[in-house]
Amino acid sequence: MKQKTILVTGGAGFIGSAVIRQFIEETNHIIVNIDCLTYAGNVSSLGSAKNHERHIFQQKNICNQQDMHDIFRQYQPNAIMHLAAESHVDRSIEGPSDFMQTNIMGTFSLLEVTRQYWSALDNAQQQAFRFHHISTDEVFGSLPTDGYFTETTPYSPNSPYSASKASSDHLVRAWHHTFGIPTLITNCSNNYGPYQFPEKLIPLMILNGMEGKKLPVYGQGNNIRDWLYVEDHAHALRLVLEKGQVGETYNIGGHNEKTNIEVVKLICQHLDDLIETPITKPHTQLIEYVQDRPGHDQRYAIDAQKIQKQLGWTPQETFESGLKKTVQWYLDNTPWWQTVLSGEYQRQRLGLATD
């Protein structure tokens, strides 16, 4: 495999770190990791890739065009994987400004730096270059009880987070059609797995359950999500970067539709089975139904036939196997999540927007 230099934004985040770990382990590529290390960024999530000679970390903000120009000039990337984003719906309800700045203006800034860099490449380099923008299925809004999101589903975002990601998707598409930048866009379903920041549903339920704390479930727990194991997602992203058709969008889903209450009860079952001396058993005793968040989409579900048929990707983990691995990982990696929880986030309820 010909060695490439790939610039990954948000590479200290949950999905970005999984992508980088795979690149370092499975390829000979040089990875330039750009992350400004906000609350959810953690270089320890890179594991052994953190100190690898082919991994270069730069603590920079993508909104700073001069810093980005300097990095492009120094490292001469062959491809960009843009994962840097504010990504939690509840936080976007409490404070949407950061989401507008990072997800919209940050993407605009990166596209402009990329445009100037790409325009100066020779023809062969331009043809080989890729800008891969990683997005979410939440841009499509909420589904009824049947049907699936496809690549042609109209956008209908319902939260500040999803609106900011929809905006960034449109920017990427526009820079491709207007300026010719060879872009790719992927929209994924809900990710889970090792190294996920504890404000998200699955790690929050695992950690609370381990400590005998309440397991807060929004509404009646009937909201449905399609769950995707993060390592499966990382493989799909790498495949799209390598083989995806320029200008195309690919949906990436796990084929695992579950209600939130189903997910929480499965976590409880794994905790019952895996903890030798639990504080509470059965862990379902800890479930507590709480006020739903504003604008909570009822159902997401991805139709991933396009990436399966055109690129040959299918998820390797079932939800049951991936969830068991995830629960075991949090049980085995207490120092990681204790360090994360020593910061500003202490598992408090976010997203009520009562101001």
For residues 338 and 24, the model is more confident at 24
Q: What is the pLDDT of residue 350?
A: 47
For residue 319, give both structure tokens: 């939800």
The pLDDT mean for the chain works out to 94
Mean pLDDT over 140-157 rounds to 94
Rounded CA-CA distance 161/88 in Å is 7
Rounded CA-CA distance 189/197 in Å is 17
Q: Strand pairing partners for 136?
A: 188
Give the whole-number percent of the chain exceeding pLDDT 70: 96
Whether 351 has a pLDDT exceeding 80, the answer reads no
Which residue, among 33, 48, 20, 40, has the nearest Cα to 85 in the 3D structure? 40
Grade residue 162 by pLDDT with cuts at 50, 70 and 90: very high
Domain extents in the chain? 5-197+227-256+297-318
For residue 287, give both structure tokens: 């479930």
Q: What is the pLDDT of residue 116?
A: 98
How far from 257 is each of 56, 134, 200, 225, CA to CA, in Å?
37, 21, 17, 5
Mean pLDDT over 251-272 rounds to 96
Q: Of all helices (H) and strands (E), which one includes residue 157? A: none
Rounded CA-CA distance 137/126 in Å is 29
pTM metric for this prediction: 0.94
Rounded CA-CA distance 220/22 in Å is 38
Grade residue 160 by pLDDT with cuts at 50, 70 and 90: very high
Q: What is the pLDDT of residue 354?
A: 46
Mean pLDDT over 112-124 rounds to 98
Grade residue 191 by pLDDT with cuts at 50, 70 and 90: very high
Whether 341 has a pLDDT exceeding 90, the answer reads no
What is the helix, strand, coil percentage profile of the chain, to 5? 45, 15, 40
190 contacts 228 by C-beta, under 8 angstroms: yes
Q: Where do the H-state alpha helices sit in the chain? A: 14-26, 65-75, 89-94, 97-99, 106-119, 123-128, 160-179, 201-210, 230-243, 260-274, 305-311, 319-332, 334-340
Q: What is the pLDDT of residue 60?
A: 97
Mean pLDDT over 110-122 rounds to 98
DSSP 86: -
Q: What is the pLDDT of residue 343?
A: 64
For residue 94, give both structure tokens: 């409490």
CA 259 to chain centroid, in Å, comes to 20
| Residue positions annotated with a catalytic role | 137-138, 161
Residue 317, exposed/middle/buried by CB under 10 A (0-12, 13-18, 19+)?
A: buried
119-123, 219-223, 261-265: least confident range: 219-223
Peptide bond into 282 cis (omega under 30): yes
DSSP 343: S
Q: What does the pLDDT look like over 223-243, one tens digit per residue?
A: 999 999 999 999 999 999 999
Whether 353 has a pLDDT exceeding 70, the answer reads no
Q: What is the pLDDT of residue 89?
A: 82
Whether 345 has a pLDDT exceeding 60, the answer reads no
Give the whole-number percent of the chain exceeding pLDDT 90: 85
Mean pLDDT over 185-202 rounds to 94
Q: What is the pLDDT of residue 97?
A: 95
Rounded CA-CA distance 228/282 in Å is 26
270-279, 296-305, 333-342: least confident range: 333-342
Q: What is the pLDDT of residue 11?
A: 97
For residue 214, give both structure tokens: 């309440």
CATH of 5-197+227-256+297-318, one of 3.40.1180.10, 3.40.50.720, 3.40.50.620, 2.30.30.30: 3.40.50.720
Grade residue 1 by pLDDT with cuts at 50, 70 and 90: confident
Q: Strand pairing partners for 227?
A: 190
For residue 30, give both structure tokens: 């040089």
Whether 212 has a pLDDT exceeding 90, the answer reads yes
Residue 130, exposed/middle/buried by CB under 10 A (0-12, 13-18, 19+)?
A: buried
Grade residue 152 by pLDDT with cuts at 50, 70 and 90: very high
